[in-house]
Amino acid sequence: MGSLCIQIMWYRKRPLVAWFFTGVALVAGLVFARKILVSHNSDVWVAMSLTLPERITPREMSIAGYYVVKQTHEPVFRKEDGFNYTSKLLERWERSLDYRKYYFCPKGGLEFYKGKPFTREMFFSHVRDITAKFNSEAQVRSEDGCVSVSFGKPARKYLDFLCAFANAPSVAISPAVEAGLGSFLVEAIGPGGITLNRRKKVSNGFNRVELVSYRRGEASAVPSTRVSDYNLALSRDELETLGPEYIHFDNLAMKSAVLLIDIPDYERRKFVYNCVDIDALRHAFAPNVKKFNYIQTLLPVGVPGALPGRPAQECSAHRVAGKGLEPLILANWRTDNYVEMSSFADQFYAKTGVRIKVENYPPEKLAVLLHAKEKPFNMVIIMTTPDSDDNYRFLASYFGKNSLLRHEISGIAGLYDALLKSDGGLRQQELASEIAQKISGSCSLLPIYQSVNTVYYPKGIRNLYVGKELFEYPEIAEFRW
């Protein structure tokens, strides 16, 4: 979700990308500060991050943004152990045996912040609007303070859809912050860090969260003895130097690094897809990555429809073939790999005769350019990860008006619609695999690797569960000592 690279959270048909916050403001009682200083209270959880989100909203989540939203927001449902659905927002709920009808009754007394209750009318509006994004033909009605939802066909994925933090209830406090119904509220946000305060304090847990900006090679204003979480900031080698006060776990991350090849001409796209040496590119892009998995499509192992192994490539190019072709522009926003990326470009030219020009962009600028109709580059490495292991969130941003690509991939829109309406099981896996293979077959995305992370947390936390979904994004409100 902490190496320095474009990292994308998937939400509906739009990728959610990392930004830096650039403004300073005072809005609705929120302090937008330039530096967040860490207190020395034992109930403060301090996390260091290479990037900070520009906005706190479930609609636009970077990796660090998701880290924050998991503390500040609460989806309508949670899926415990991958099977059982629970809800902190509902008093009761029902589902028909044929998965066509759902009935939700919200709890009373919930509020986004003091003076802004989560009313039954707001709950109805939220369910209506979110459900329309899942299935525009669904019927949503208000019934005595509760909400009924009816589908023409079985909607087995509907509750999974409502489990996504991207679909959690949210209300704007300012242009930079949305409040949710989670355990924490945003107190301050700025280029130096983000501070969260717990709604209801506890005596044996964390009542304050501080996400602090970390810059390689710069002295930190935060004493290292006060940092609880370095996972968004340090490389694997650096994490291994942490002292005995930390424990660690290997975590097969639902995260895939892919080369986005945004070249409208298929033959040239195919040439790039087949002739890029993925080992050389992986080493150039992320020199410190030592543990990884090969994957054949953008779906990482652990997501239904994923295929382990190297992607199929067959490069028949030679140096003469590339003569006369315009240079390719590869966007890069890491700051620790300039020499390696330049060396990769030289190797590619020696092999094919095609020049690659590596352009370095600040992350906040590249995030905006990814959505532009006209891009000054035609290749970029992105790391995709959803807020769950649902395969449809990995696949949603390569067609339609919010596609990251300037060219269309034939046939995937209809398959994606069928995936959303599938009953799960083998059929769902087959559809996801077919879509992913069509994307690979179009030579639009070249899988580079799947991350294998080792996460480090302080000793003394009683309820730190290994194997919990998306383990690298802790729910700090649950921690006790």
Domain ranges of the chain: 6-74+173-245+473-478, 78-163, 252-452
What's residue 221's pLDDT? 53
Nearest Cα to 447, choosing from 184, 259, 201, 283? 259
Please give the DSSP secondary-structure letter assigned to residue 448.
E
What's residue 318's pLDDT? 58
- The pTM for the full model equals 0.71
* pLDDT at 323 exceeding the cut of 60: no
CA distance 145 to 139: 16
pLDDT-derived band at 321, boundaries 50, 70, 90: low
What's residue 5's pLDDT? 38
In whole numbers, what is the pLDDT of the chain averaged over residues? 82
Fold match between 78-163 and 252-452? no
Domain 6-74+173-245+473-478, what fold?
D-Maltodextrin-Binding Protein; domain 2 (3.40.190)
- Other beta carbons less than 10 A from residue 189's beta carbon: 29
Three-state SS at 360: strand
- CATH class given for the domain over 252-452: alpha beta
pLDDT-derived band at 324, boundaries 50, 70, 90: low
At 469, which helix (H) or strand (E)?
A: none
Contact 440, 261 (CB under 8 A): no
CA distance 173 to 157: 31
* pLDDT at 10 exceeding the cut of 60: no
β-bridge partners, 292? 451
Q: Which CATH number fits domain 78-163: 3.30.70.520, 3.90.76.10, 3.40.50.300, 2.60.40.1180?
A: 3.90.76.10
The b/e string for 22-41 (b: 16+ C-beta within 10 A; e otherwise) is eeeeeeeebebbeebebeee
What's residue 45's pLDDT? 94
